[in-house]
Structure 1
Amino acid sequence: MIRVILGGIAALMIAGCATITEPTLPTPASMLSRPVLASFNVTGRLAAQRGEEAVHGRFSWRHAAGQDHWQFFSPLGQMVAELESSGGVAVLQMADGGRHVAPLNELLARMLGADVPVALLPRWLQAGVTQVDDVRERDPLGRPQRVVEQGWEVRYRTYAGDNFNAAPRLVEVSRGDVSLKLLVEQWQ
């Protein structure tokens, strides 16, 4: 009788082990297929630093192919500047009435106090990866957590959800003494 009971317990244990499956993580190559939107609207907070100089505030960014529209706000919500770029020409309109025309990367560097790779920001903001080898760390779901591209380190501290395709919520970009943190509060 004891053999029958032990045999039944052993069969149940083997059957129980057979039904447990490990969650399947996305393969490294699947990171290349993360959705990267050609156009988006985001709002949130930013912090940029170069050496001892720092800028903090809120932002709104509307991005589309060949067009960008940024609004910069003080930490208290007052508009500081508006930056519009289309067709390779950018215009920075300051709240005090000052107006500057220059390439987008120059004007964005003027606002942030740091020169960041403007052309890569839309993809980095969405955790878009073009080379699997650039990904140095992945989170438990297999999403990029730390990427190094063109000498820049991009860290994805949090995502907006618990699925593989969730958009990043906190993105930190740094190289040398330059850093930019974007906390996205709303994606559209």
Structure 2
Amino acid sequence: MLQMPIPLAWGRMAAACLLAITVTACSTVPKPPLSQTANSATQQRMQKLAAVQQFSLEAKLAVQYSGKGYTARLEWQHAGQEDHMRIFSPLGQQVALIHRTAQSVTLTDQNGKQHHAADVASLTERLLGWRLPLAGLSQWILGIPHNASPYQASYLASGEPATLTQDDWRIEYEDYQATALNGMTESLPYTTRLQQQDVRLKLVIQHW
């Protein structure tokens, strides 16, 4: 398994960041009642965002798995069936470059070695120790489900989903903000939490 280099200072900083994330999560105020039914505002929002074929973003990433945890920064360019994602350590070192196309997935590690697999989730689990659901994430990060499998959701009164469950992942959303994206302005989540079994991911958008 590819091991991310974690100097002592980084380890202490990551532990502090994860502790802060945990404390923040525990201290959030109660959410208003949620609806299990999509209203007209929800349907219109989903239709608009489902048409989005490309975006780019920068985000902070926190990962917890198998009793381990660390923080990172990522840069992600998505265009149709192709993704480029760079993952950086808190000190700015590129840890991994993920390139996904409709035909293949390649992860280039910090030593420049390329690794291949049929999907990103299995490749990141083998090399990094945790699963990154990149295929579904390109829709989930916009606050909508993808159309390849069934899902369950709960919705805010304003129409955005508060939670999604799809492909055995549970996704929770916070901090929706009106955001300009590809010539339109739509409400997008700025904090997204994902959990599947022992893997927990938290993405905090810095820039769309």
Larger-gyration structure (1/2): 1
Quote the residue 1:145 is aligned against: 162
Q: Secondary structure at the match of 2:124?
A: helix
Residue 99 of structure 2 corresponds to residue 84 of structure 1: yes
Partner residue of 2:201 out of 171, 180, 185:
180
Residue 173 of structure 2 corresponds to residue 156 of structure 1: yes
Give the residue type in structure 2 aligned to 1:180. L
Partner residue of 1:125 out of 121, 131, 141:
141
Residue 81 of structure 2 corresponds to residue 66 of structure 1: yes
Q: In the aligned structure 2, how far is the partner of 1:150 from the partner of 1:133?
A: 8
Q: Secondary structure at the match of 1:165?
A: strand
Normalising by structure 1, we get a TM-score of 0.73
Q: Identity rate of aligned residues, in percent? A: 26
Query: Retained in 1: the 8 A contact 2:139–2:146?
Result: no
Normalising by structure 2, we get a TM-score of 0.67
| Unmatched segments (≥5 aa) in structure 2 | 1-38
Q: Secondary structure at the match of 2:134?
A: coil
Q: Secondary structure at the match of 2:145?
A: coil
Q: Secondary structure at the match of 1:134?
A: strand
Residue 148 of structure 2 corresponds to residue 134 of structure 1: no
Cα 1:149/1:179, change in 2 over 3 Å: same
Cα distance, 1:34 vs structure 2: 4.3
Cα distance, 1:89 vs structure 2: 1.5
Cα 1:176/1:66, change in 2 over 3 Å: same
Cα 1:122/1:112, change in 2 over 3 Å: farther
Cα 1:184/1:95, change in 2 over 3 Å: same
Cα distance, 1:154 vs structure 2: 0.7
CA RMSD of aligned residues (A): 2.7
Cα distance, 1:108 vs structure 2: 3.2
Cα 1:34/1:176, change in 2 over 3 Å: farther
Between stretches 160-169 and 51-60, larger displacement belongs to: 160-169
Cα 1:34/1:54, change in 2 over 3 Å: farther
Q: What is the count of residue pairs matched by the alignment? A: 162
Query: Retained in 1: the 8 A contact 2:179–2:188?
Result: no
